[in-house]
Structure 1
Amino acid sequence: MEILDTILENASQPLYALTLLVALIKYPKYYTTPLKYFPILLMYTFLTELLGYFTKHYEVFHISIFSSFIRHNVIIYNIYNLVFFSYFFYVYWSYIDHKKYKKYIIFAAIYYLLVSLINPFFQSFKLESQVYSYLAGAFAILICIILFFMEHRNSSKKLDYRFTGIKWISIGLLIFYLGYAPIKASRFYNYTYQLNEYVHIRRIHLSLIVLMYICFIIGFLRMKRKFWI
């Protein structure tokens, strides 16, 4: 298991970079779609992870607002989550044609933003992970994904399933948030009540990240332009 743990612990950054590379190579296939900004998000993800790592492990990179809490780097991820969830609300709103479903996505986005505004009153935005906001975002994104698949369930595009990048991206997001949202909640519970974390939680978390990005890569590799226009 030590070998597996080592692989999982060191797989994220290379996967981010590989996904970004594939996304850039395939960019001409989807530059006219709502996913045209996705490479920017991938680059932002990669840089966020690097910055988070360096601010946590190397004193020279410590952010000034953390002078009294040098190992805290959560503000980087709190800002990132706001950008990440907001972007995918836009993506799914753009891809879905059903007017009622589009309204549901708007409601989901408003719900997430309201929770994000309220969350800092209970948890410091600078020093604590915004758990309520994150869980609200995960729930809202899952709703968007379900609506997307519901709309395409009886569509003729169903035959083009294996070529459609957004569907593979949705599968990746679905796998990750269905698995990680309970982990996020359990970690918050364990932290609140000072309980030990189950030994395999970290392993499951990292595996979910790997699966999600593999789905992203498959989506880009199987992408064909005619299915995106």
Structure 2
Amino acid sequence: MEIVIRPLDASLVHQANMNSMGGKRGDLSVTSYESYCDRVLSWPISDEKKQKIVDQIYQKLSEQLRHEARHVSWAVAGPAKYDPRKLDHSDTILRLSSEFVEWFNGLEKQVKAGTQQDDKRGRLLRLIEFADSRPELDPTGELAELSMVDNAKFIELFEAMLPKYKWRKNSNIYKLYLASKEGKVKEIKPEVFFENADLTAFTEGDRAYIRFTMKPARQLIVALKSRGWWWNSGKRAWSTYLDRLDKEWVAGISERYAKYV
């Protein structure tokens, strides 16, 4: 679909220019509005969601523009013998501007967090490297966890680090190494079963996960909890056990809860 970006009211832009010292207050508001809309268009979310956010930007900045058009600073009001108390909208403009920036930055953070890939392998490799570099730390636990993510890399690192750590043959890590060499350790990898611009749903081990591109509204959170889903901060996703998973319900979230994703 084509995203429609409505222009700000030209008469309000003109009036804001006329009431400003430099004659550009309205033009600056238009530039800011278009810039925010362009940023939304670059986000990896559905066109429907982009349109919804762009429309919200229009509503919020139109309200701010209405006050900017009526605002007459004391420098102008004084010589013209206007009552500055009636024409000064600066406090309202500052409040609306602050609220808008906070709202928009919150959305942008959600998008960035939602689109980050869960690089468990990379995280484990960094932890192993860090622990190996510190004499007071031991990378054994992270190394064992790596076997479930990247079995070949686990074997490589175990063999390279064995002379230093001298793991005993009866230790759990050594038994895990032998099992890995024999192909008896199965890597646990995420399997995506549904994905669109709003969310990614996948299974890993004995659990299912839903990772939203943006934080869902309260109504959808209530629906998730009522179906046995809970927030998993480690995965940055909503989680449930496989025996509670209803794939058809998950696939219908974007349509059923369109207002809340």
Q: What TM-score, normalized by structure 2, do the two folds share?
A: 0.28
Larger-Rg structure:
2
Larger RCO, structure (CA 8 Å, separation 6 or more): 1
Q: What TM-score, normalized by structure 1, do the two folds share?
A: 0.30
Greater strand proportion: 2
Greater helix proportion: 1
